[in-house]
Structure formats: C-alpha cells, structure tokens
A and B are shown apart, each in its own frame.
Chain A
Amino acid sequence: MKWLHKDLLDVSQLSRSEVMAIFETAGRFQELQERPVKKVPTLKGRSVILFFAEPSTRTKTSFDVAGKRLSADTFSLSKSSSSLTKGESLKDTALTLQAMAPDAIVIRHWCSGAARFLADRLDCSVINAGDGRHAHPTQALLDSFTLHQEWGDLAGKTVLILGDIAHSRVARSNVILLNKLGAKVRLCGPRTLLPPAVRTWPVEVYSDLNEAVRNVDAVMCLRLQLERQKDGLLPDLREYARTYGLGQKHVDLANQDVKIMHPGPMNRGVEISSDLADAAGSLVLDQVSSGVVIRMALLFLYMTRKGEE
C-alpha cells in the first residue's frame, strides 16, 4: 500500500484498510524480533527526533528501539533538555528542530492539539505520541494489534475501558479505533472521571464495575493519575481501588479467557490487582512487544511514504 498520510495525529485519520496495512506491516516485523541480530537497514540514513515534552519511559524507549531496529538515527529531546524550559515557544522549538532536517518527529506534549500544531508547521512527518488528553494513536494501534494477534477479527468482541476516561488520551483513541474495527466498547469509571459528553460517544457507559465487566472479552485498565485525588475528583485512593480496581471477582464475571490490558505504568493495587497483572490472561507485556513492532511499522510507512524506500 502506498502511504499517503504525512502525519499521524489520531486514529480517526486512518481507514480500516489502512489500519490493517499497519497491522500487516507490524506482523512482518515481528519475525525480526526473534532474530539474533534484530536490525535491518530499511531506514538507514534517515533520522527521527523523539521530542518528549512530557515524561515517558515506555513510549519513548519503544520508539527509540523501533527506529534503531530499522537503522534510523534517533535523537532524543526532553522538556528538561530543550529550550522550552527557558521559555522558548513550541513554534520556535519546532522550527529549530526542522532546521536540523529530520525525516520525522515523534512528539509527546501535555497540551491537546500540540501534535497538530507541529504538523501544520513542519515539512517532516509528525507522529503523535500523546497530546494532552486528546489522542494516543500509537497506543491504540498497539492495543488493537495485540487483540488482533489473540483473536484475529475484533468484530463482535466487547472491550471494557476502565478508570479515568476524562483525562485519558489512550481511552479516546481506543474508543475510535475499536469501533472502527467492529468491537463494542464499554466505559466504566466514577462520574467525576468521565468526560462531560460521554453519552454522545459510541460506547456504553457504566458506573458499576460488576455490571460493566459482565460478558466482556477484554478489559483495558487505565492508569490513575494519583493527583486526581488532590484535584478533588476522588475521595481517596482506597475507595477508588475498592470500587473501580479490577480484581479476580470481576474477571470471574467476564467471558472465559478474558484478556487483561494496561498501557502502563501500573499502580498495582489501585487500578488493577497485582495478581491479575501477572495472570495468564494478562497481555500487558504483549502490549509492550506489540508497541515496538507497531512503531516500526509506522516509522517505516511514514518515512518511506514518498516511495523513497
């Protein structure tokens, strides 16, 4: 498939067939993971700047590994090491980076819309690695890819997304992508952590986890930002864990062989019980592996989009 998009800002830009093309490409890269030498020269001479204005270990490392396995040169820039801390605007930082002629910039930023802001101003590909509460397309793609690997077709499956939906870019992108792939989506969390207009989303909304989890095929737990309690959105973490923390008793209500997912990093004992995180049905580490191959696929497709492979 000839890749036509310049940027990846959210999964809403992608057609179902484009998602399948990403999965297919990622699937081919999976074989590479098992080789003794996990590197191919595909993107040799290309450069990717990893611009993470917000802390990240997992996503940044995943992109770094993905780039290096394709022989791209990856350069990291964090907020603390960038001029943003000196008051430089995002626009000037972006233009400075552009002047270094990268082929792609992977950006994570605390403001919704920041990836689009860069994409509108830069010639190179911009890949959104999470912008504010808005979107996290690569996480959604790797989550669906992980389920695709387990189930094949996602159509007809029911996925519950559990926790702090209001502040979650992971949830927003997953709702869009899971619907696009034919899955039914349920959301569950306290009202204070649900978006104001969630009833207009293509989802079923629950406040009782025991009801929400009934007959689902997968549960995606979301990380709870512990400062939400300070914001007054929760009485305390203990109550949250008792009411919305996923435990074995909930899994027993779900469909047999239910898959447990978490984008990490996990607060064990808060949004998910520790046992469950390590249980047989847990796909948490599969998600990490999928993350590398999905990001390899994306770097490959976006950086060779002009047929310059």
Chain B
Amino acid sequence: MAKADLIVRRAKMDGKDVDVFVSRGKIVEVKKSVRSLDPGDAIVEEAFGLTLMASMTDVHVHLREPGYEYKEDVESGLRAAAWGGFSNIMCMANTKPVNDCDSVTELMLEKARKYWPKGPRLFPIGALTKGLSGKELAPMAELARAGCAAFSNDGVPVKSSKIFRLAVEYASDWDRVVIDHCEDPYLGVAAGVNEGEVSSRLGLPAQPDIAEALQVGRDILLAEYLDLPIHLAHISCKKSVDLIRFAKQRGVKITAETTPHYLTMTEDILEAEGTQYDTNAKVNPPLRTEADRLCMIEALNDGTIDCLATDHAPHALHEKETEFDVAPCGITGLDTALSVTWQLVRDGVLTREAFTRAWTTAPTAIFKLPVNTFKPGDPADFFLFDEDEQWTVSATTLYSKGKNTPLLGSTLKGRVKTHFIAGKKIV
C-alpha cells in the first residue's frame, strides 16, 4: 500500500467516523477512525466530525468568459464551484465570441490554470455549429483536440433536424457526446414562464411543456436511428420524462439531466405575493407545475433522469432588475445546488443513492470525466460538509458574481467547509 501523504481524520461517512488516506492525489484507503494514529510525514486534516462527500460534477454551467465577464468569469465561476462542492465543471459555448474555435477553448483553459491551478477542473463544451447559428457544423475535431469534452448549441436550439443529425454523427467521430437544449424553436422560445394557468392570469407570453417534449421526441428518434448517444439538457417536465423512460426501455442511448430548481420550485412562485413577476425565477425552460416537479423527483430517484446539473446562468443585477419580458433567462446555481439537493435527501424525498449517482457517478460516466467513489486509486476529490450550518442566500454569501436566484433571502442548511481535489486543499 502506498504511503499516505494526506490523512483526513474523523470524518463522518454513512454515520461512521472514518479516516481517509490519500497518496499522490489518489485515494489509498478509507477506514474506520482509530483513536490514535502515527501520521508519519503525512499532512493531517482534522474533520471534527464533518460529513465526508465525494466532489460533485456539474455538466452544465455558463461561465460567461470571454465576453460577459461582468456576469461571471472563469475565476469567479470556479470559486463558486470550489465552494459549491464541485471538482469538475463543464462550461457552455455561448460566450462572446462563441467557443467554436480552439483559441477560445484554450483561453478558457488558460484562465482556469492561471487562477485555479489545483482545480476545480474545467471542461469546456464546444459549439455544435459555428457561432451557434445552427447552419454549419463547428470544427469539432479542432475543438476536441483543444480540450472540449462535449458539444452543444445550448441556449440556441438547432432548428434543422438535418444539421442536428449531422452534428451528432460528426461528434461521434471524436468520441464526444452532443448535449441538446430541447426546445421547439417556434413554440414560445425563451419566454421564461410555463404556458398554463399562471401565465394566463399574469398575461405573460409563455412556453408550453410540449416545446421541450417535441424536441426530446426528435432526439430520441435520432439517437435510436443513428445508434449514437445524445444527452438531453435541463429536462423540466413530465411529458419529456415519459418519453425518456420509453426510450430507455427500448435501449436508446439517451441520457438526461435536470436541475435543482425543477426539483424544488414551480411556476406558482411567479404569482405569489412578494415574488410576483420575480425575474430571478425567469429561467429557460421555465419552472413548471407541481405535478411536473414531483415527476422530476421520481424520475431522478428511479434513474430515468441520469444526473443533476445546475444550468448555472449568472446575470448582472441590472439585467434582472427590469420588466419581466425584458429580463434574460437564468438562475445562478453553483453556490446553492448542494444545500438545496441535500435538503431533499434530508427530507426523505430524494434517495441518498440517487443523490450520489446524480452528482457524481452518472455525469462522469456520460462524459468520461474523473470520479471519486472512495475506492483505492480513485482521484482524491472530496469535501467536508457541515450539514447543520445555516446560511442565508445573499449577495455577500454567494461566491458567484451572479446573485440572480429566487432563493435570495432564504435560509439554507449545509455548507462546504473544506474541499480537496486530487488530494490538494483548494478551499
């Protein structure tokens, strides 16, 4: 057994006190804590009974750099990720310029190395089409060589099924998965509110759930026809879940993610006293109904939805402090994701197994990223978590530059206290 150079003492794992032994950035062993221990030359980190968790992976983040650094930049985004419990994050291509050439990918990675050399690890997602135009394929080979882990037109769905098909096929040559933003481009694009009772009373132009489900259906048929994987981003409604469940039963290579806000919030927030027309709750796809919310939780528990992602979409205050129609869609999420979803586990709504799969093993399997399952040889990516610490979501407690969340003013439970990536303490 390799000699440990880091020992984390007396961490809580599955109700037991454990010691974690790490050597050269890898897990050596996790075993029941003993009263006294000779650490030798190893660095000892005393956990004082904090909860030990494997670092999480977020496959859907908007870091905004280059081009929109006032909303977020690589440095601030990775800071939010580090404090949020994430060791791997994948950032979308809708920057300015779009990440559709290797120089943009390299710039992102260089910034990450400069500001966060020890992690969290950044995996850029290249554009599926040049300039996200939906017309010409992006140079995916070049982007893959530069370090792009996947491809997506997120934010600007590809209208042409022909172009989308070609993109899926071409991406497969480079062993990359395509992530689709599922939205029929003609049915209430980016309205930010669900079409239904609430939108009809509030008089807001709205997007029906079938705008998402229609595109999910298209992608399922394509994935089956091509026998190639397609990952479905930010699934929000029951109709999509029904289609995905059907596809998985047929063995179609479809995977899907949902976000913490679809598990915990509904369209009703837009009509509630005090949060009526709250632009911080304007998100695309929109917050749906209570039936949809419950369905998303069930789908996550039974594995129909493979993983969680934040769809972290930071915006500046002045952009959200405006009329609802004018405000951009998006909710900042890296800081709050862990507290929000762990609360679901604590409440017995989400199983512990689903939580672990959704934030760690499933996303890393889909995109072939490093994962820690605490087996010997795994990357030593883990954090110590104070499950009981209460914190209020505010401009000062969020590490992201984006403060745009409907949770502002809410009290959440649980915060990351220390985070190790590849055995190095990053916060």
Residues in A lying within 8 Å of B, measured CB to CB: 89-91, 109-114, 116-117, 131-135, 169, 172, 195-198, 200-201
Contact = CB atoms under 8 A, between A and B. Distances in A.
Nearest to B270: A113
Interface residues of B, number: 21
Given A91-B321, A117-B323, A134-B203, 12 more contacts: A90-B322, A90-B323, A111-B324, A112-B324, A113-B202, A114-B323, A132-B325, A133-B203, A133-B205, A196-B196, A196-B199, A201-B200
B197 A200 contact: yes
Contacts of B203: 112, 131-135, 169, 172
A166 to B, nearest CB: 8
Nearest to A112: B203
A197 B322 contact: no
B197 A112 contact: no
Contacts of B206: 196
A110 B323 CA distance: 9
21 contacts: A89-B322, A109-B323, A111-B325, A112-B202, A112-B204, A113-B276, A113-B323, A113-B324, A114-B323, A117-B277, A117-B323, A133-B205, A135-B203, A169-B203, A172-B203, A196-B195, A196-B196, A196-B206, A196-B208, A200-B197, A200-B200
B318 interface: yes
A111 B323 contact: yes
A169 B205 CA distance: 13
A14 to B, nearest CB: 15
B201 interface: yes
Interface in B179-227: 195-197, 199-206, 208
B2 interface: no
A226 to B, nearest CB: 19
A134 B322 contact: no
Given A112-B203, A195-B200, A89 B276 contact: no
A111 B191 CA distance: 13
Contact of B197 (A89, A133, A134, A197): A197
B166 interface: no
Contacts, number: 63
Give chain B's interface secondary structure class. Answer: loop
Interface in B259-289: 276-277
B200 A197 contact: yes
Contacts of A135: 203
B325 A112 contact: yes
Contacts of B408: none
Nearest to B200: A195
Nearest to A200: B197
Contacts of B196: 196-197
A111 B205 CA distance: 10
B326 interface: yes
Nearest to B201: A172
Closest 9 A-B residue pairs measured CB to CB? A133-B203, A113-B277, A134-B203, A195-B200, A111-B323, A197-B197, A112-B203, A197-B200, A111-B325
A112 B322 CA distance: 11
A174 to B, nearest CB: 13
Nearest to A131: B203
Given A89-B318, A111-B325, A132-B325, A116 B276 contact: yes
Most central of A113, A132, A198 by chain B CB within 10 Å: A113
Most central of A109, A110, A132 by chain B CB within 10 Å: A132
A300 B5 CA distance: 78
A154 B318 CA distance: 46
Contacts of B205: 133
B318 A134 contact: no
A131 B323 CA distance: 10
